[in-house]
Amino acid sequence: MIDSKEIYIHREIEELIAIQSKDYPILSVMGPRQSGKTKLIRKYFPELPYYDLEEGDNFEIISKNPNRFVRDKCMEGVIFDEFHYIPELTQILKTVSDELLTQANKEGITSIPTRFVLTGSHNYLFDAKIRETMVGRAALIKLLPLTIQETGCKNPFELMYKGGYPILHVNGRQPSKFFPAYIENYLDREVKTVHGIEDLRTFRKFMEICAFLTGNFFDYETVCRTLDLKKKTVEKWLTILYSSYIIFFAGPYHKSSIQRFANKDKLYFYDTGLCANLIRGIHSPEDIKINGDFKGKLFENLIFSEMWKKNYIQGEYLDPAYFWHVTGEGGYEVDMVIQQATKLRAVEIKASDKFDPHWFTNMQKHKMLQEADKYVVYTGPTMDVEGGRALNFTDLDQLFLR
């Protein structure tokens, strides 16, 4: 077994960190547990002292008087991991940063490089007080599991099964061993400790239902009835999964932005490996390959999650893609629509290595789509085809080209 301590996977987002850390006194790196946040920041800021606030001793010492701790020990810089355990740190670091910037301005310096680094597996932007104190003072970085290129994996079924958590790609850890432990850790440290949910057994069932629904509209009525929960509880639990970077939502495309917000969204997982592990009956890449129902859903999830990852790597936070959905008689869908300025790109996503020209059919059913650039993302070779372009799933960067 390879020692994971000796391996570092270069992250595409490092370029963004290099740019952002020049101008902001605070750097916030958020993302799901075990996405590589700690390894990344300790590599990037090796000189800064490091405190994990989820660790009992650190929490006890710092939480007694966080202001004194910062001013006595951290004025030259610090890394606070899982900082949301002591949320008042953000107000303290805001004050300190303003003081440092005021002093720098007196010396003719308009900005100061990153001195305080905050990481966490919980999206603090849901906390209005924390969000307000960070505006204009913190560079916001989202570090998700590895992109397709970062994994180096060329087998789509292995990639869907394994997912992108770094530890699975550096030391041979088996998904069948990693994910059950990951889920138990998540339930205990995030769902119970941070959000106060006691019924972890039902919450896990809820996660399994979400995995089953990946790539679909979320059916509140069925979920509430299946788990005997009120809609308000289900909405809260969805927010927990969303705020801890487990799931995200893609909305329908409409020319009117207002209409986009008035329609149902589709649910996806940031990591297909976690999603696959939550689906009963999937125990290997081969299980995905032979399962017609989940093969297409997980492959679509892989492509959507890759688009979101690439979006954050570029420092963008608006949704990078939508889906096209027409209801009623003769209804149809196009898997993905990307808008760049006034130009549309329509994309069908197919878990097949053989190109089929009929995949372009739905893209011809509306005038707006007829005028769009047309793509198919599949597992076969990248090539120009009549009516558009077929992309291998490892060549998704071409969808971002202007």
Instruction: Name which of 120, 118, 147 is nearest 134 in CA terms.
Output: 118
User: Both 24 and 127 in a single domain?
Assistant: yes
- What's the total number of domains in the chain? 3
How far apart CA 335 and CA 317 sit, in angstroms, is 21
Q: Is the pLDDT of residue 7 over 80?
A: no
Q: Given 109, 125, 142, which residue is the final one in a domain? A: 142
| 6, part of any domain | no
pLDDT at 262: 41
User: Both 173 and 298 in a single domain?
Assistant: yes
Give me the domain span that covers residue 217. Answer: 148-310
pLDDT at 131: 72
**CATH no. for residue 39?**
3.40.50
pLDDT at 341: 74
Model confidence over 319-348: pLDDT tens digits? Answer: 899 999 887 777 899 999 998 877 899 999
| 177, part of any domain | yes
Q: Given 310, 342, 371, which residue is the final one in a domain? A: 310
User: Both 246 and 193 in a single domain?
Assistant: yes
Overall average pLDDT of the 359-387 stretch: 94
Burial 60-88 (b: 16+ CB within 10 A, else e): eebeeebeebbeeebeeebbbbbbbbbee
User: Both 160 and 278 in a single domain?
Assistant: yes
DSSP calls for 338-352: EEETTEEEEEEE-S-
Least confident interval from 30-44, 60-74, 164-178, 326-340: 326-340
Q: Given 283, 310, 337, which residue is the final one in a domain? A: 310
User: Both 58 and 119 in a single domain?
Assistant: yes
pLDDT at 129: 66
User: Both 82 and 221 in a single domain?
Assistant: no
| 272, part of any domain | yes
In this structure, the number of other CB atoms found within 10 A of the CB of residue 127 comes to 16
Model confidence over 273-305: pLDDT tens digits? Answer: 999 999 988 999 999 999 888 999 999 999 999
| 315, part of any domain | no
| 395, part of any domain | yes
| 4, part of any domain | no
User: Both 225 and 274 in a single domain?
Assistant: yes
User: Both 161 and 290 in a single domain?
Assistant: yes
Model confidence over 150-188: pLDDT tens digits? Answer: 999 999 999 999 999 999 998 778 999 999 999 999 999
User: Both 51 and 129 in a single domain?
Assistant: yes
pLDDT at 392: 97
Overall average pLDDT of the 3-12 stretch: 73
How many helices, marked H, and strands, marked E, lie in the chain?
A: 18, 13
User: Both 73 and 120 in a single domain?
Assistant: yes
Q: Is the pLDDT of residue 255 over 70?
A: no
Q: Is the pLDDT of residue 21 over 60?
A: yes
CA distances from 32 to 210, 245, 270, 304 (A): 17, 5, 9, 17
- Label the pairing between strands 78-81 and 50-52: parallel
Task: Supply the angle between the helices 231-243 and 220-227 in degrees, to the nearest 10.
Answer: 100
pTM equals 0.92
Instruction: Name which of 112, 145, 383, 110 is nearest 274 in CA terms.
Output: 145
User: Both 132 and 158 in a single domain?
Assistant: no
Model confidence over 119-158: pLDDT tens digits? Answer: 998 887 666 667 777 777 889 899 999 999 999 999 999 9
- Residue 232, classed as helix, strand or coil, is helix
Q: Is the pLDDT of residue 191 over 90?
A: yes
- Residue 195, classed as helix, strand or coil, is coil
Q: What is the DSSP letter of 217?
A: B
| 271, part of any domain | yes
pLDDT at 385: 96
| 360, part of any domain | yes
User: Both 227 and 367 in a single domain?
Assistant: no
Model confidence over 353-369: pLDDT tens digits? Answer: 999 999 999 999 988 89
